[in-house]
Amino acid sequence: MKQNTFIKIAVGVVVLILIIAGLVIFTSKPSEAPEMPAGQKLTEEQVLSLLENDLPGGCVPDGVEGEYSSCELVFEEGLDMFTGEISWASVFITYDGLYDDSVRASRIEANLIYRDSKWLVNSITETHQCQQGRGHQDFSEELCV
């Protein structure tokens, strides 16, 4: 009998703990993103400046007549797991509607690192998507025909 009572009390305590934990989880405010140190925050202008030698005329969202119909620049910054400060960024610049017989779109993928108070290009890869019937339809480093 005493063992039965002990089990009921233990189960009751566990249930109570789970209820309290659930309330804390579901009623707490979501955590906000940490403030990015101003000197490290990467801007679209910085990205374009860093990659200017590798881009065909910048990145104009509405395109450039005779070159491409649209351009999209997307980047994401990442925090160093030890310091909690911004230390890297992945950049994707996609040119779509290229005025080219075989290449439909081109994508620049760049990895940037933040070292010694400045952004540096770590690596750049250019991939292509072929026009229908001219090769691969996914972005690939393989050339179109």
Per-residue pLDDT of the chain (145 residues; tens, 9 = 90+): 566 676 777 666 666 676 766 555 555 444 343 454 545 789 999 999 999 998 877 899 999 999 999 999 999 999 988 988 999 999 999 999 999 999 999 999 999 999 988 999 999 999 999 999 999 999 999 999 9
Strands (E) across the chain are located at 70-79, 86-96, 103-115, 118-130
Alpha carbons 109 and 89: distance in angstroms, whole number: 11
Determine the Cα–Cα distance for residues 75 and 116; give it in Å rounded to an integer: 21
- Which pTM was predicted? 0.71
**Percent with pLDDT over 70 in the chain:** 77
